[in-house]
A and B are shown apart, each in its own frame.
Chain A
């Protein structure tokens, strides 16, 4: 049943992604100043939203693990953090490609870009650090603390374009600009639809990753049993 639900979710995400690609390339209007390259926004921004939402869920799961000591929360935290990383990478790489055309450089040490890179590196560090600890309870506890301590970097990344005058463009989506429309409604709708599709796809990846964590726990138990025999 769960497997079927996973396939169904994956199929819906796939269909939505294909529909969105059609919308992004053939339907949404051109941007007057940037030309074609602005379409990168439709994958750049949704990937960042997925990364940030997952960072938040990872923080909540980590806090819950520390309170309840239930390993399912630790599994959720590690799975969602791992899946968040490719989406963070997509955000960084597509941003650099866009910057090369619009700013003439691949990278600037602007507050938004720098904090995004720091957040990404800290979550990558979290995953590397986990591998260094063998004892499951200690691993879960240390990882949870690390995840909680990393989350403020994501908050700063989110707020950077409001707190500082950055080279990165300011908020353009209406829910971030206080309801004021700063982009064509067709563009905003395409952006939100692609966010939904990527979020669904990411949720499927998280479910697969969580299943792997439960196999891993089963393997740990079997290894102990094998040693005991």
Chain B
């Protein structure tokens, strides 16, 4: 087994998973921000009415 091949294969899979996890976390953070903003606006409109 070529050790260098193994190391680079590990880098490849690690990079792939890292990209997916970072994107999924960005989605979760955005969803949270949007829901907070939605609640804030609903409350504000409710108060004004």
| A141 interface residue (CB < 8 Å to B) | no
**Shortest CB distance B49–A (Å):** 7
A37 vs B23: C-alpha distance when bound (angstroms): 25
- On whether the beta carbons of A229 and B38 are closer than 8 Å, the reply is no
Give residues of chain B (1-43) contacting chain A, Cβ–Cβ below 8 Å.
Answer: 1-2, 4-6, 8-9, 11-13, 15-16, 19-20, 22-24, 27, 30-31, 34-35, 37-38, 41-42
B interface, size bucket? 20 to 34
Known contacts A36-B6, A40-B12, A101-B8; A212/B27 CB under 8 A: yes
User: Can you report 28 residue pairs joining A to B where beta carbons are below 8 Å apart?
Assistant: A35-B1, A37-B2, A37-B5, A37-B12, A40-B12, A43-B13, A86-B23, A89-B19, A90-B20, A93-B15, A93-B19, A97-B12, A100-B8, A205-B23, A212-B27, A212-B30, A215-B31, A215-B34, A215-B35, A215-B38, A216-B34, A219-B34, A219-B38, A219-B41, A222-B38, A225-B45, A226-B41, A229-B45
Given A37-B2, A209-B27, 12 new contacts (CB under 8 A):
A40-B13, A43-B16, A83-B23, A86-B20, A97-B15, A98-B12, A101-B8, A205-B23, A208-B27, A215-B38, A218-B38, A229-B45
